[in-house]
Amino acid sequence: MKRVVIIFLVFISAVLSVISCKKLEPAAPADDSILDGPVEGLTTAQKAMFLRGDVAFNDEVFTAETGLGPLFVATSCASCHAGDGKGHPFTTLTRFGQSDSTGNHFMAMGAPQLQNRALPGHEPEKIPAGARSAKFTPPANTGMGFIEAVSDADLLAIADPNDADGDGISGVVNWINIKSYITLQPGYATENGKCIGRFGKKSGAHNLLQQTAGAYNQDMGITSLYEPYDTYTGLETDPEVSTQTLQDVVFYLQTLKAPIQRNKTNPDVMKGKELFLQADCGKCHKPELRTGYSPIAPLANQTFYPYTDLLLHDMGPGLDDGYTEGNATSAEWRTPALWGLGLSKNAQGGSYFLLHDGRATSIEQAILLHGGEATVSREKYSAMPETDKKKLRTFLESL
């Protein structure tokens, strides 16, 4: 009888442990504490595509056998975008060319991107004599589908190339040559045969397909149907990533959710936002934008809060690296979205590496390095009492 009781108790314990096992497993982090995750409202088929893209982006590591290099910057997408967040100095890219807008004269020498790593037996690229260069910290990936879906008309409406309102801020779009494989969306704007770029530090890419195919090619040395030329030999090769995989990754990037603001109703955060707007930071870091047409229903006609105007601004001599892309001058940088700023540290190894090349290691340092069109805002910030500065930074960290 005693034995039967023991067996029964062991059996019940086993069943209970199975039932309760989920409670002894780590809980999911709060949605607003991570950058990963899809937008709401995807269909089942779209969720499957998102998951395929997620695997290709975060898990696929290229090797020599699967096409890596032979010159490269990273072996996987996730190397540069850990947790879909900003990059680290370890993965910072170097791009080279010249300081004027006459087109990159160093394309035959490996421009625009420096492949600073190489498979054994190969030598990495070096910046050719006479070329100018700038370092680019990889950006966060989140919410980019919303940015892609802002209409050209809206961007042109925000732009103020001649500073017509006299506020000292003159955002401009970057008109770039369009790759032949890009399908332009309804209502696209054009000027002298060029279209608007909106991705990249200098808005050098028109859409996420161009950005993604370019990154596979320039960052990892992976050719595709869209970018079929090997960066090492310059010869056209068979695609090393399938078109389906590349499109899955593009879809994944398009449908990553927008970062969610935290502590929105905290009095310091609310006051900080007020101070942010009073200092005219919001003139470039525009709090609100609206999407237009998108073939992905959850992205179409949505209001979202990226804190960017997606335009190029002259940031002054301190941030002028002497290198340019397209029509952007060497001192012009596209306003980076501030959403997700407070979560950057969780992707950058616990530290901040801000501005286009990660030179600022704190939010305050990033603010104080602003110049050019942002000089007035920087001075307004500098003139604030320390308590207000802290509230403004608290607001930025809540994004």
Partner 1 sequence: MRIFVLYFLCIIATAANAQIDTNLLRREPKDTTGMKLNMDAVYNRPFLTVGKLPVALGGYLEANWQHLGTDGVTEGHQFQMKRMTLFVASGIGHRLKFLSEIEFEDGTKEINIEFAALDMEITPLLNFRGGIIMNPIGAFNQNHDGPKWEFIDRPTSAVQLLPATYSNVGFGVYGKKYQKDWVVAYEAYLTNGFDDKIIDNNTGRTSLPATKLNRDRFEESFNGMPLATAKAAVKHRKIAEVGVSYMSGVYNKFEDDGMTLDRKRKVEVIAVDANSTLPGINTFITAEWAWISVDVPGTYSQQYGRRQQGGFADIVQPVYSKPLFGFEQSEVNIACRLEYVDWNVGTFDQTGDKISDHFMSVVPAISWRPGPQTVIRLNYRYNLQTDLLGNPASKTAGFQAGFSSYF
Which residues bind to partner 1, rule: CB under 8 A?
3, 6-7, 14, 17-18, 21-22, 24-29, 60-66, 68, 72, 74-76, 79, 82-83, 88-90, 92, 117-124, 346-351
Give me the least distance between CB of 358 and partner 1, in Å please.
Answer: 9
* Of 88 and 370, CB closest to partner 1: 88
Q: How far is the CB of 176 from partner 1 (least distance, A)?
A: 30
The dihedrals phi and psi of 244, each to the nearest 5 degrees, come to -60, -45
220/296 with CB nearer partner 1: 220
How far apart (Å, rounded) are the C-alpha atoms in residues 100 and 302?
37
Kindly list the strands in the beta sheet with 190-191, ordered across the sheet, starting from the edge strand earlier in the chain: 174-176, 194-197, 190-191
In the complex, what is the shortest distance from the CB of residue 232 to partner 1, in angstroms, rounded to a whole number?
13
Nearer to partner 1, 296 or 366 (CB): 366
Least distance in angstroms from the C-beta of 24 to partner 1: 6
Half-sphere exposure of 252 toward its Cβ, with a 13 Å CA cutoff?
A: 25
What is the C-alpha separation between 306 and 336, in angstroms, rounded? 9
Closer residue to partner 1, CB minimum distance, 22 or 129? 22
Residue 282 and residue 307: Cα distance in Å, rounded?
7
Residue 269 burial (CB count, 10 A) = 21
Q: Is 205 helix (H, G, I), strand (E, B) or coil?
A: strand
129 CB contacts (<8 Å, ≥6 apart)? none
| Choice between 76 and 185, CB closer to partner 1 | 76
Report the nearest approach of partner 1 to the CB of residue 52 (Å). 16
Token pair, residue 84, equals 């879909």
Least distance (Å) from partner 1 to the CB of residue 221? 12
Q: Are 308 and 81 in contact (CB under 8 A)?
A: no
Nearer to partner 1, 27 or 157 (CB): 27
**Which residue, 86 or 201, is less far from partner 1 as judged by CB?**
86
> Which DSSP state fits 158?
H
Q: Which amino acid is at 352?
A: Y
CB of 250 to partner 1, least distance (A): 22
